[in-house]
Amino acid sequence: MNVQMLTELAERGAIRELELLSLEGGFYIARVTLDDGELTLLDDHGKTLRLRSTTHLRDLLQRVPPFPCVLVQQCVHDEMCGTRNGPIGALRIPFSLAATH
């Protein structure tokens, strides 16, 4: 899915959620959830789009109608140290695409 397709889906209200996944190496990728599955946001060359921050995503999608977004970070410390019993879920922080200034 590229930005144009994401825009069209957002205009139709078809996007359930966008997850901005924090990955090792200091970059993020966007995964979009629709009623019938998930798609990754791609660049103009069809490769996974690497984002630098929530601000980078906001700038990229500034003309797209709003939809729910969440920043997802894995709890690596808990996985390494085993400090909790049971399954370890990711940290999910809701955020808005609206400009913060």
**pLDDT tens track for 15-67:** 999 999 999 888 999 999 999 999 999 999 999 999 999 999 999 999 999 99
58-66 long-range Cβ contacts below 8 angstroms, 24+ apart:
58/97, 58/98, 58/99, 58/100, 60/3, 61/3, 61/6, 61/7, 61/97, 62/97, 62/99, 63/7, 64/3, 64/6, 64/7, 64/10, 64/97, 65/10, 65/11, 65/13, 66/10, 66/96, 66/97, 66/98
100 found inside a domain: no
39 found inside a domain: yes
Model confidence, pTM: 0.82
Number of domains in the chain: 1
Residue 35 lies in domain = 3-95
Residue 98 confidence class, pLDDT cut points 50, 70, 90: confident
